[in-house]
């Protein structure tokens, strides 16, 4: 499965809920890149410059990371935030064909621009375990420790007005066409994500069970 949607549409939250309820191994290409950046690997340092400006990492690099992750797991998987370009979707299809497998479901989380900004302002990430935290949902205040590991919570470097503007531009130009790609394949389902995580998850669960 794949979860698609604009920044702060709740892809990470839904991926975590799906993984917990259905046991489907999940990964986020954004989280992999942030981990690489934190470890200071050459890939991470280069990617960090792009991410903090709100741009997209190169397709080749993303496909390499995805291929490495797929090697470690079986035929049941969930991607959050990948593919983000039509080129990624095409190359992903080839990669899966070579493994004699394919995608069954692509869920498109739809959300209004106003909600995106409001959610972004409430979003923090744990500097220790990487968990994505929402003020009001997981913690009461930005000074609170991570409820998962006690680590320090920080705002993401790309959750700024300037970076968000660029991320939205990239999203509209490069990621929205990916929804048409999967619509043509007959596996795209839309979910209204302008609601609380539990309501969204009810609809997402129904789609998975169907
Ligand atoms: P996310 O955590 O999904 O919001 O991703 C954070 C950032 O990582 C994005 O704004 C991009 O800079 C980069 N990124 C994540 N996934 C991809 C991808 N599939 N293709 C290109 N860049 C990506």
**For the chain, which residues make up each domain, given as ranges?**
2-209
Instruction: Give the pLDDT band (50/70/90) at residue 115.
Output: very high
Closest ligand 1 atom to Cα of 85: 20
| 119 flagged as catalytic | no
Copy the structure tokens of residue 39: 């470890």
Instruction: Give the pLDDT band (50/70/90) at residue 132.
Output: confident
Closest ligand 1 atom to Cα of 34: 8
137-168 burial, b at 16+ Cβ within 10 Å, e below that, comes to: ebbeeeeeebeeeebebeebebbbeebbeebb
Mean of pLDDT values over 137-166: 92
Q: How far is the CA of 135 from the centre of ligand 1 (A)?
A: 22
Q: Is the pLDDT of residue 31 over 90?
A: no
User: Contact 183/189 with Cβ under 8 angstroms?
Assistant: no
Percent of the chain with pLDDT over 90: 79
| 84 flagged as catalytic | yes
41-70 residue pLDDT tens = 998 999 999 999 999 999 999 999 999 999
Q: How far is the CA of 175 from the centre of ligand 1 (A)?
A: 11
Task: Give the closest residue (by CA) to ligand 1 atom 2.
Answer: 30
The mean pLDDT of the chain is 94
Model pLDDT, residue 193: 97
Question: What is the spatial distance between Cα 110 and Cα 4, in angstroms, rounded to a whole number?
Answer: 9
CATH of 2-209, one of 3.40.50.620, 3.40.50.12780, 3.40.50.300, 1.20.120.420: 3.40.50.300
């Amino acid at each position: 499965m794949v979860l698609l949607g604009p920044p702060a549409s709740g892809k990470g939250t839904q991926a975590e809920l799906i993984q917990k309820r259905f046991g489907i191994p999940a990964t986020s290409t954004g989280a992999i890149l942030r981990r690489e950046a934190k470890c200071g690997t050459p890939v991470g340092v280069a990617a960090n410059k792009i991410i903090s400006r709100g741009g997209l990492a190169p397709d080749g690099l993303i496909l390499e990371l995805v291929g490495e992750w797929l090697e470690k797991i079986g035929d049941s998987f969930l991607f959050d935030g990948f593919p983000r370009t039509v080129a990624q979707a095409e190359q992903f299809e080839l990669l899966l064909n070579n493994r004699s497998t394919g995608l069954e479901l692509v869920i498109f989380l739809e959300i209004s621009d106003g909600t995106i900004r409001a959610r972004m302002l409430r979003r923090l990430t744990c500097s220790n375990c990487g968990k994505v935290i929402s003020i009001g949902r997981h913690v009461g205040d930005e000074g609170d420790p991570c409820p998962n590991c006690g680590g320090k919570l920080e705002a993401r470097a790309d959750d700024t007005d300037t970076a968000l503007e660029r991320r939205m531009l990239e999203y509209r130009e490069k990621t929205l066409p990916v929804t048409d790609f999967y619509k043509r394949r007959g596996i795209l389902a839309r979910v209204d994500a302008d609601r609380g995580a539990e309501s969204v998850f009810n609809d997402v669960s129904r789609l998975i069970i169907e």
